[in-house]
Structure 1
Amino acid sequence: MLHTETDLDKLTAQSIDTVRRWLRVSTSMTTAKNPAAERLSAVLSDENGLDFTVGFVDRVVRTDDVHAAADALTEVGKLAPETMSYLDRAQIKAGAALAKIAPQVVVPAARTRLRQMVGHMVVDARDKQFGKTVAALTADGHRLNINLLGEAVLGDGEADNHLEQTHRLLARDDVDYVSVKVSSVASQISMWAFDETVDYVVERLRPLYSQAAKAPTGAKFVNLDMEEYQDLELTIAVFTRLLSEPEFKELEAGIVIQAYQPDALGAVQRLSEFSARRVENGGVGVKVRLVKGANLAMETVHAEIAGWPATTCDSKQSTDANYKRVLHWLFTPERMKGLRIGVAGHNLFDIAFAHHLSVERSVTDRVEFEMLQGMASEQAAAVTEDVGDLLLYVPAVHPKEFDVAISYLVRRLEENSASENFMSGIFDLANGNDVFKREADRFTASVNQLESILETEGETAPAPNRHQNRSTETLGETVVPTQFFNEPDTDPSLPANQEWVRKIIAEATAPGYLDDRPNTPKIESTDELDEMIARGRAAAADWRALGAAGRAEILHRAADIFAARRGEFIAVEAAEVGKMPSQSDPEVSEAIDFIRYYALNSLELEKLEGAEFTPDEMVVITPPWNFPVAIPTGGTV
Structure 2
Amino acid sequence: MVAPTQTPQTSALPYESQTQALARDLLAATQEKKNLLAQMRDQMRWDDKIMDFAMGNPGLKVQLFRFIDALPALRSKPEIARHLQEYLSAEEVELPGALKGLLNFTNPDSVPGQIAATTVAPAVETLAYRYISGESIDKAIKAIERMRKDKLAFTMDLLGEAVITEAEAEAYLQRYLDLMEQLSQAAKTWKPVEAIDTADGKPLPKVQVSVKLTAFYSQFDPLDAQGSRAKVSAHIRTLLRRAQELGVAVHFDMEQYRYKTLTLAILKDLLMEAEFRQRDDIGVTLQAYLRDSYNDLKDLVLWAKNRGTPVTVRLVKGAYWDQETIIARQNGWPSPVYSQKVSTDANFERMTRLLLENHLYLYGAIGSHNVRSQAHAMAVAEDLAIPRRHIEFQVLYGMADKLAKVMANKGYRVRVYTPFGELIPGMSYLIRRLLENTANSSFLRQNQDEVPVEQLLAVPAFAPEDELDDHGTPPSPPPPFPNAPDTDFAIATQRTEAAAALKAVHSQLGQHYNPIINGEAVDTEATADSVNPSKPTALVGTLGLASQDQADAAIAAAKAAFPAWAATPAKDRGAILRRAADIMTARRHELNAWMVYEVGKPLGQADPEVSEAIDFCRYYADEMERLDAGYAYDYPGETNRYRYFPRGIAVVISPWNFPLAIATGMTVAALVTGNCTILKPAENSAVIAAKIAEILIEAGMPPGVFQYLPARGSTVGAHLVQHPDVHMIAFTGSREVGCRIYADAAQWRPGQRHLKRVVAEMGGKNAIIIDESADLDQAVQGVVYSAFGYSGQKCSACSRTIVVASVYDTFVRRLIEATRSLHVGDAAQPSTKVGPVIDANAQAKIKDYIAKGKAEATLALEMPAPDTGYFVGPTVFTDVAPDAVIAQEEIFGPVLAVIKAQDFDQALAIANDTDYGLTGGLYSRTPSHIDRVQTEFAVGNLYINRGIAGAIVSRQPFGGFKMSGVGSKAGGPDYLLQFLEPRHVSENVQRQGFAPIEGMD
Q: TM-score range by the shorter chain?
A: 0.7 to 0.9
Alignment correspondent of 2:686: none
CA contact (8 A) 1:344 1:370 kept: yes
Once the 2 structures are TM-superposed, how far is the Cα of residue 20 of structure 1 from its aligned partner?
A: 2.5
The Cα of 1:523 is off from its aligned counterpart by 2.8
Is 2:327 aligned against 1:302? yes
Residues 111 and 158 (structure 1), Cα distance of their counterparts in 2 relative to 1, 3 Å cut = farther
Query: What's 1:16 paired with?
Result: 20
Q: Does 1:358 align with 2:355?
A: no
Structure-1 residue corresponding to 2:372: 349
Q: In the alignment, which of 383, 408, 418 is matched to residue 429 of structure 2? A: 408
SS where residue 179 of structure 1 aligns?
strand
AA partner of residue 99 (structure 1): P
* Residue in structure 1 matched with residue 245 of structure 2 by the alignment: 214
Structure 2 distance, partners of 1:108, 1:516, is 72
Contact 1:98 1:106 (C-alpha < 8 Å) held by counterparts: no
User: Is 1:229 the counterpart of 2:229 in the alignment?
Assistant: no
Matches within 5 A, 1:557-636: 557-609=579-631, 610-623=642-655, 625-636=656-667
Residues paired across the two proteins, number: 583
Q: Counterpart of 1:349 in structure 2: which amino acid? A: R
Matches within 5 A, 1:133-532: 133-150=143-160, 152-172=162-182, 173=184, 174=186, 176-215=207-246, 219-252=247-280, 253-279=282-308, 284-332=309-357, 335-365=358-388, 366-398=390-422, 402-429=423-450, 434-440=451-457, 443-444=458-459, 446=460, 449=462, 463-465=470-472, 484-508=481-505, 510=506, 513-516=508-511, 522-532=544-554
| Residue in 2 that maps onto 1:118 | 128
Deviations 1:113-150, CA, capped at 9 Å, x for gaps: 21112311012231322222222222222111111123
The Cα offsets for residues 285-339 of structure 1, whole Å up to 9 and x where unpaired, read as: 211100011111100111111111111112111111111111222322xx23231
Distance 1:358 1:97, change over 3 A: farther
Please report how far the alpha carbon of residue 507 of structure 1 lies from its aligned counterpart in structure 2 after TM superposition.
Answer: 4.1
Larger-gyration structure (1/2): 2
Distance 2:102 2:251 in 1: 40
Q: Structure 2 vs 1, CA of residues 537 and 39 (structure 1 numbering), >3 Å: closer, same or farther?
A: same
Q: Say whether the 8 Å CA contact 1:40–1:118 is kept in structure 2.
A: no
Contact 2:355 2:362 in 1 (8 A): no
CA distance in 2, matches of 1:525, 1:498: 42
* TM-score, normalised relative to structure 2: 0.54
- Structure with the higher strand share, 1 or 2: 2
> 2:513·2:544 contact (CA, 8 Å) conserved in 1?
no
Mapped to 2, the partners of 1:104 and 1:482 lie a distance apart of 45
- Which residue number corresponds to residue 138 of structure 2? 128
Whether the aligned pair in 1 keeps the contact of 2:313 and 2:363 (CA below 8 Å) is yes
Shift of 1:596: 0.9
Match of 1:554 in 2: 576
**Counterpart residue identity of residue 482, structure 2:** F
Cα distance 1:139–1:517, how it changes in 2: closer, same or farther (>3 A)?
farther
Provide closer, same or farther for how the CA distance between residues 341 and 529 of structure 1 changes in structure 2, counting only shifts above 3 A. Answer: same
Query: Are the aligned partners of 1:50 and 1:414 in contact in 2 as well (CA < 8 Å)?
Result: no
Structure 1 residues 74 and 482: CA distance shift in structure 2, 3 A: closer
Counterpart CA distance in 2 for 1:375 and 1:81 is: 27
- Residue 301 of structure 2 aligns to a residue in which SS? helix
Shift of 1:419: 1.3
Q: Tell me: CA distance 1:137–1:90, structure 2 relative to 1, closer, same or farther (3 Å).
A: farther
- Name the aligned partner's letter for residue 236 of structure 1: L
Query: What is the RMSD of the two structures over their aligned residues, measured on CA atoms?
Result: 3.2
Contact 1:61 1:69 survives alignment (8 Å) = no
8 A Cα contact 1:262 1:464, kept in partner:
yes
Q: Does the aligned pair in 1 maintain the 2:447–2:456 contact within 8 Å?
A: no
Cα deviation, 1:28-70, whole Å, max 9, x if unaligned, reads: 6999999688656534432256235413312333456866543
| 1:105–1:182 CA distance, 2 compared to 1 (3 A) | farther
Superposed displacement of residue 197, structure 1: 2.0
CA-CA distance at 1:97 after TM superposition: 6.0
Q: Structure 1 residues 634 and 119, CA, compared in 2 at 3 Å: closer, same or farther?
A: same
Give yes or no for contact 1:536–1:617 (8 Å, CA) kept in 2. Answer: yes
Secondary structure (helix, strand or coil) at the match of 2:510 reads coil
Cα distance in 1 between the residues matched to 2:623 and 2:79: 42
- Deviation for aligned residue 1:514: 1.8
SS state of the match for residue 247, structure 1? coil
Structure in which a larger fraction of residues adopt helix: 1
> Quick one: distance in 1 between partners of 2:456 and 2:479?
44
Cα distance between partner residues in 2 of 1:42 and 1:193: 45
Q: More displaced, 405-414 or 550-559? A: 405-414
Q: Matches of 1:419 and 1:151 in 2, distance apart?
A: 29
Distance in 2 of aligned mates of 1:292 and 1:77: 32
Q: Which amino acid aligns with 1:360?
A: D
Q: Which runs of 5+ in 2 are unaligned?
A: 1-9, 188-206, 516-542, 632-641, 669-1001
Q: Following TM superposition, by how much is the alpha carbon of 1:611 offset from its aligned partner in structure 2, in angstroms?
A: 1.1
Distance in 1 (CA, whole Å) between partners of 2:115 and 2:169 is: 34
Which sections of structure 1, spanning at least 5 residues, go unmatched? 1-5, 467-480
**How far off its partner does 1:340 sit?**
0.4
Cα distance change of structure 1 residues 551 and 27 upon mapping to structure 2, 3 Å threshold: closer
Distance in 1 between residues matched to 2:217 and 2:12, nearest whole Å: 44
Q: Which amino acid aligns with 2:180?
A: L
| Counterpart-to-counterpart distance in 1, 2:581 and 2:163 | 37
Shift of 1:579: 1.0
Distance 2:568 2:131 in 1: 66
The residue aligned with 1:473 is none
Code of the residue aligned with 2:16 in structure 1: it is T
SS at match of 1:621: strand
Q: Point out the more displaced range, 581-590 or 15-24.
A: 15-24
How far, CA to CA, are the matches of 1:532 and 1:621 in structure 2?
15
Structure having greater relative contact order (Cα 8 Å, sep ≥ 6): 1
SS in 2 for 1:177: strand
User: Aligned letter for 2:85?
Assistant: T
Correspondence for 1:61 among 72, 80, 83: 72
Q: Which amino acid aligns with 1:436?
A: V
Instruction: Indicate how the Cα distance of structure 1 residues 524 and 611 shifts in structure 2: closer, same or farther if over 3 A, else same.
Output: closer
The Cα shift of 1:410 comes to 1.7
Distance 1:336 1:379 in 2: 24
Matches of 1:26 and 1:528 in 2, distance apart?
86
Deviation at 1:463, TM superposition (A): 3.8
Identity of aligned residues (%): 28
Residues 502 and 590 in structure 2, CA contact (< 8 A), matched pair in contact too: no
